[in-house]
Amino acid sequence: MYMEFQDLIKREDYIQNLLKEKKDGKLSSSNLFICKDDAFNEILLQLVARLILCKNDICGTCENCSKIIAGTHPDVKTYPKNQTKLLVADSNEIVQESYVKPIYADSKIFIINNIDSSTEESQNKLLKILEEPPKNVYFLLGAKVIDNVLPTIRSRCNKIEIGSNNKEIINSIFPNRDLKTNLALSVSEGYLGKTKQFIEKKNFEEICNFAISVLTELKSSKEVLPYSKKMYELRNDYSLVMFVLGLALEDLLKIVCGREDLVKLEMFKEKLEKVKDEYSERALIEISKLIPKVDEKIKFNVQPQMIFDNFLLSLLEVKFICK
């Protein structure tokens, strides 16, 4: 699916523009790709690295393409090293490495994923090199939220903004829509990278079903225990549980307001409709406000089990108070 995926992105206008710029020798050395879908960004950045090094229009089979796809190309370096955010040490390494000549290809490429999640200090360290990169060195930066990228970085880069993927691509990638694919597509709101991530996630359906059951099956404080236990079991995925719960709350609000036609989680519509009389508009809005609070608390490492207990109890409380 991965190759197929890259082949389809190849046809998009922004890739065709980059190809043209390469042919005209006008390719910018510092490029910033902005897309809400970070999983998509990672795939895209790798594709652009191939675009720069491949001599036959991103063929997929030459040595440069194969090595990049396998993640073993000696001249294509991917950051952050710890997979989550760029550290100052990463930035220092990038600056140093960029002055070392390429070994295999004729250019060197630095892929920097999620630049927007790094600190100001790590970003600052890159300013000079982005402005005056050594010859034949390219920087490919990916960001979800442009506001979290320093304006000074933004102004030094060629910016390419990408929206959610078009229907044609989605349809050709997922011709057979099974339940899991449909669910993944609706939770990812049409973003391809995320969809792929969800489909590959073993317990994705379990997570979604659980999130929905919190709204549709949990009725009283006496029943909280098994739910908070389950939530604890899924603690590594709690942010996804919360995300789906947030989507379900939005959908429920649409149903309560008589706009069933706008519901995103189509497959749960029936279940949500059954409980619409249990929630007032106000309750749904107040419950949504509880979600970011869980996030904050988890960050401070307070006991997760207790946080989940409190969350579920508050949800029920709000539901009854705002009846």
- Residues forming contacts to Zn ion in the complex (CB under 5 A) are 54, 59, 62, 65
Nearest distance, CB of residue 60 and Zn ion, angstroms? 6
| Residue 164 to residue 186: CA distance in whole angstroms | 12
Which residue, 45 or 265, has its beta carbon nearer to Zn ion? 45
Nearest distance, CB of residue 176 and Zn ion, angstroms? 30
Q: Residue 264, SS3? A: coil
Which residue, 53 or 265, has its beta carbon nearer to Zn ion? 53
Is residue 258 left, alpha or beta, with left meaning phi > 0 and alpha meaning psi from -120 to 50?
Answer: left
Is residue 189 left, alpha or beta, with left meaning phi > 0 and alpha meaning psi from -120 to 50?
Answer: left
Nearest distance, CB of residue 65 and Zn ion, angstroms? 3
Task: Confirm if 248 and 269 have CB atoms less than 8 A apart.
Answer: no
**Nearest Cα residue to 34 out of 187, 147, 167, 169:** 147
Other beta carbons less than 10 A from residue 42's beta carbon: 18
Q: List 159's β-bridge partners, or say none.
A: 32
Nearest distance, CB of residue 104 and Zn ion, angstroms? 13
Nearest distance, CB of residue 31 and Zn ion, angstroms? 19
Which residue, 55 or 177, has its beta carbon nearer to Zn ion? 55
Is residue 111 left, alpha or beta, with left meaning phi > 0 and alpha meaning psi from -120 to 50?
Answer: beta
Which residue, 65 or 141, has its beta carbon nearer to Zn ion? 65
Nearest distance, CB of residue 51 and Zn ion, angstroms? 9
Q: List 201's β-bridge partners, or say none.
A: none
Which residue, 69 or 143, has its beta carbon nearer to Zn ion? 69
Which residue, 62 or 169, has its beta carbon nearer to Zn ion? 62
| Residue 239 to residue 2: CA distance in whole angstroms | 25
Nearest distance, CB of residue 20 and Zn ion, angstroms? 17
Q: For the range 21-25, what are the long-range contacts, defined as Cβ-Cβ under 8 Å and sequence gap of 24 or more?
A: 22/51, 22/52
- Helix (H), strand (E) counts: the chain: 17, 5
Which residue, 59 or 100, has its beta carbon nearer to Zn ion? 59
